[in-house]
Amino acid sequence: MSDLDISHEYFTWKLVQDVAEEKGYFEEEGVEADLSYFAPGTQDFEGENAFDADWWEDMDEDGGTHGVCEWNAVQEVSETDRDIVGSYSEWDRVVFVRAADDADTIDDLRGRPMGINKYATSFYSMREMLENEGFEADDIVLEHVGEAEERFEAVKNGEVDSIAVLEPFVTLGRYDEELKEVFDGPCRAAITTREQPEPEKLEGFLAALNRAVADINDDLEGYTDRYVELLEAEAADKPAFDDVNFERLREEFELREFLPVRAPDEKRIDATTDWMREKGFVPDDADIGTAEELDNDEVLPEEESEADDEEAEATAD
């Protein structure tokens, strides 16, 4: 039986976990970890949206610990005995329109339907991001279009005016000749667990991931081809991505640096919790539990530990 079972929805971290496993970092840190990736939108849920879907009950079958968006993590922890045991940041959440659309900025999409996955991050994150852009409630029109490939087809067919996606579909969309990017915003992520794991096991798990992060960041050019292979595999045999110019992608794409995982970012989590309380997604008296006795000095590379707060603020939020 593994020390930590991890199920996560962030594509870019497939590369991180693969490197950590291949180099034996989990074993060296004294942790037996079982990691798996699931594509958002591929699960069967009941309910109208992420707020009432109880989606984490389904995910329990795949992993006791998992990486999710910070908004989902806060809701999950408010309703269960789970705790947030780590904070990290993902790449952009991007909004695309058809290339021929007259919209050039997010402001041009007021009152126009946007395709999202209502069971995942976008149910919360796009609403908050649009509010931060000055949208009123009546300006925000979100329509459920589950899997990302369905969203690509929906916007091209005119079923919705825009779509919001995460990586790998961000990069695929940026090289799709039928799409145009009009907005990008941050995707904040957290790791939750059903119960407080042993501090040394949790520290070892995060440290192993961060050793892989450091390896990748030290050789971004060397890992770029491997990441492109992951993108090509994700798009293979899916007609929705036929307009992606992979020749140009291979020539131009540059892998970005990864931020390390760190102990729960209390300031950031509190801000997310406040927004969710205001919207009624989290009870006023909810206790948002976070990992105890987790020392960043044990999980972050030295240079990251010294400048963690400043870097995370500037890069991710």
**147 domain-assigned:** yes
**284 domain-assigned:** no
Amino acid at 110: R
**293 domain-assigned:** no
Q: What is the pLDDT of residue 60?
A: 59
Distance between CA atoms of residues 65 and 89, nearest Å: 17
**97 domain-assigned:** yes
Tokens matching residue 76: 């999950």
Q: What is the pLDDT of residue 307?
A: 45
* pTM recorded for the entire structure: 0.87
**238 domain-assigned:** yes
**309 domain-assigned:** no
**264 domain-assigned:** yes
Angle between helices 220-235 and 12-22 (to 10 degrees): 120
Tokens matching residue 291: 């990992």
Distance between CA atoms of residues 45 and 38, nearest Å: 14
Q: What is the pLDDT of residue 81?
A: 78
Distance between CA atoms of residues 251 and 243, nearest Å: 16
| Domain of residue 53, residue span | 6-279
pLDDT in tens, the chain (317 residues): 466 666 666 788 889 989 999 999 999 999 887 776 665 555 556 666 666 666 666 655 555 666 678 888 898 888 877 888 888 887 789 999 999 999 999 999 999 999 998 877 788 889 999 999 999 999 999 999 978 899 999 999 999 999 999 899 999 999 999 999 999 998 888 888 876 678 888 888 889 999 999 999 999 999 999 999 999 999 999 999 999 999 999 999 999 999 898 888 999 999 999 999 999 988 998 888 887 767 777 788 766 544 444 433 322 22
Q: What is the pLDDT of residue 78?
A: 86
Tell me, what CATH number does 198's domain have? Answer: 3.40.190.10
**302 domain-assigned:** no
Distance between CA atoms of residues 246 and 225, nearest Å: 12
Q: Report how many domains make up the chain.
A: 1
Task: Return the closest-CA partner of residue 143 out of 157, 129, 122, 125.
Answer: 122
* Residues with Cβ within 8 Å of residue 182, at least 6 apart in sequence: 95, 96, 97, 103, 104, 105, 106, 108, 109, 162
Q: What is the pLDDT of residue 89?
A: 82
